[in-house]
Amino acid sequence: MTSTSFDSLAIACAVGIMSGCHASIWGMYKDALHEGFGLTTFARSIMIGAVVAMVIQAILHLPLPGPQALVLLFGLAYGAERGIIEIWKTFFRDEDQSKYFIPMQFSIRGVPVANAGARIAAGFGCIAVVVLSLAVVARLDSGAATLSHLTRAGLAGLVVGMLAAAGGSWKDAPKEGFEIVKFFRSPMMTVLYACLLAQLTTNYLLIAVAAIGYERATAETYKTFFFPGKPRGKFSGKPVLYPQMLRQRLYFVPVYAAICASVIACAAAAL
């Protein structure tokens, strides 16, 4: 390993830590009121973010620390980490669901599937759908030659946005009802981010994954910090068991704000 490759992996690790820390903070900010603060849970996204960022860098050899590469890698690490965590929690983790209003495990019409084998099989089915969808997106690199680069980027964003919307609706709608505005929020945001990321790369697979990463970061920031008094849907109607976290969670806000400001500054330089 040359010093340059080591430096790029170290930078990628730092970017992954930032993306994972961003996800950990918004997750903790509301969940800790109901579940308490768990160091292992908090560190989980940080560690996964660091690992996936280094793997991505080892595969793609992005020109770090250039601002364009940093912006792209942050979105890729965020999207990959969120995908890993959500699939694991939904299909492969066994957890008591009675503490939730909206089940976090795979459910049918709001009722958790108790059979672990059925959940795991559904999980592999979900993974297959995601992989197939991303394979279709990757074909945009060589296909659809009559379409402009921006149009193909928008299509890539639309595909992953619809996947996110469908998954969210499957989970939330049986308990909260179907809201058409909420359903199309993710596709609209991923299309927007995909069009912005199209200024940085012509690889539509990278555009799609990074777009869903930025969509998740933006949506959760909005829901968490613009409506701090509203519990996350999964804890709707549930009691606050750890009121001390109302104060303690504020210590993490400066770190969260610093990460957001760094990404925005980097994006401004890149675009």
Which amino acid is present at 160? Answer: V
Q: Which residues contact 27 (CB under 8 A, 6 or more apart)?
A: 45, 220
Is 170:129 a contact under the CB 8 Å cutoff? no
pLDDT tens sequence for the chain (271 residues) = 444 588 999 999 999 999 999 999 999 999 999 999 999 999 999 999 999 999 999 999 999 999 999 999 999 999 999 999 999 999 999 988 888 888 889 999 889 998 999 999 999 999 999 999 999 999 887 765 688 999 999 999 999 999 999 998 999 888 888 888 888 999 999 999 999 999 999 999 999 999 999 999 999 999 999 887 777 778 888 889 999 999 999 999 999 999 999 999 999 999 8
List phi, psi (to 5°) of 180: -65, -35
Query: Which residues, listed in sequence order, are joined to residue 112 by a DSSP beta bridge?
Result: 107
Per the structure block, which two tokens stand in for 244? 């001390």
- CA–CA–CA angle 177, 186, 29 (5° rounding): 80
pLDDT score of 66: 94
Structure tokens at 160: 């992953």
The secondary structure of residue 206, as a DSSP letter, is H
Cα-flanking dihedrals φ and ψ of residue 77, to 5°?
Answer: -65, -40
Annotate 60-96 with b (16+ C-beta within 10 A) or e (fewer): bebebeebbbbbbbbbbbbbbbbbbbbbeebbeeeee
Amino acid at 25: I
Written as one letter, the residue type at 47 is: M
d(CA 215, CA 248): 27
Between CA 139 and CA 152 the distance in angstroms is 10
Whether 83 contacts 216, CB under 8 Å: no
Q: Which DSSP symbol is given to 249? A: G
Structure-derived torsion over alpha carbons of residues 166, 23, 68, 260, reported in degrees to the nearest 10: 120
Q: What is the pLDDT of residue 4?
A: 53
Which of 256, 191, 176 has the alpha carbon at shortest distance from 224?
256
pLDDT at 3: 45
Look at residue 144 in the predicted model and tell me its pLDDT: 59
pLDDT for 16 equals 97
The torsion angles phi and psi of 112, rounded to 5 degrees, stand at -60, 140
Cβ(206)–Cβ(75) under 8 Å? no
What's the predicted TM-score (pTM) here? 0.93
Tens digit of pLDDT for each residue in 171-181?
988 888 888 88
Q: Which of 54, 24, 15 is nearest to 220 (CA)?
A: 24
Instruction: Find all residues with CB under 8 Å of 242, minimum gap 6, and list them.
Output: 32, 33, 34, 35, 36, 37
